[in-house]
Amino acid sequence: MGKALFIIDVQNDFTEGGALGVDGGAAVAAAITEHLRAHAGEYTIVLASRDWHDADNDNGGHFATDADPDFVSTWPPHCVAGTAGAEYHPALDTSRVGYHIRKGQGVPAYSIFEGRTDAGSTVHNLLDEHGIDIVDIAGIATDYCVRASALDALAHGQRVRVLTDLVAGVAAESSEAALAELGRAGAELVATD
């Protein structure tokens, strides 16, 4: 029996002042760091995802280029590979992260399961290789990439726990709806304290 922590998209562009910054993003970055300091020994593996979009195209329609973004399926440019916006937020200590997952790279991607390590490993393979059956999920944004990653982890057969005090969402209403959906799908909604 193994346990993994997924840290979803705690990047500068998704925190206050970023291209798609959410309120509470910086606080979540710091809180995840504290959680890892206190609980790193509980995790078999720690994975952190980042959007890592191409600079020279619309990333499969993900970036709005011909019209205003609808903030549902099209977005302003964000987390462009190699830019400061794509980097982890400075309050997130990544020294305990064993696997860095890049997603996007020319296509829309919300779930950590849509990404790969630089060596080409998929999240499915990493979970299987390490015998993971429990996944804790923290990060940004509750109503988009956290939601998608949790649903995919459930579909992979994991017991999923969303750490509700370690997530931040785009909007309160859609974040509450996402958490309710995840609860109905079988995820546990738990606070770390």
Q: Is 145 a catalytic residue?
A: yes
* DSSP code at position 81: T
Domain boundaries, the chain: 2-190
Catalytic residue among 103, 136, 143, 152: 103
User: Residue 167: which region, alpha, beta or left (left: phi > 0; alpha: psi -120 to 50)?
Assistant: beta
> Strands 188-190, 2-8: parallel, antiparallel or unpaired by DSSP?
unpaired
| CATH number for the domain running over 2-190 | 3.40.50.850
pLDDT of residue 107: 87
Q: Is 66 a catalytic residue?
A: no
| Max intra-chain CA distance, the chain | 49
pLDDT of residue 1: 82
Q: In the structure encoding, which two tokens stand for residue 93, read together?
A: 């200590």
pLDDT of residue 22: 95
- Which residue, chain included where needed, has tokens 């017991």? 159
Catalytic residue among 13, 79, 145, 152: 145
133 versus 75: which is more confidently predicted?
133
141: cis peptide before it, omega within 30°? Answer: yes
Q: Percentage of residues in the chain with pLDDT exceeding 70? A: 100
In sequence order, what are the residues at sequence separation of 6 or more whose Cβ sits closer than 8 angstroms to the Cβ of residue 13?
Answer: 19, 20, 21, 51, 78, 79, 85, 86
Q: What is the pLDDT of residues 80-104, one digit of tens each?
A: 999 999 999 999 999 999 999 999 9
pLDDT of residue 31: 98
Q: Residues in the chain, how many?
A: 193
Per DSSP, helices labelled H in the chain are: 25-39, 123-129, 147-155, 172-185
Q: Is 79 a catalytic residue?
A: no
Residue whose C-alpha is closest to residue 24's, from 140, 189, 179: 140
Q: What is the pLDDT of residues 149-163, one digit of tens each?
A: 999 999 999 999 999
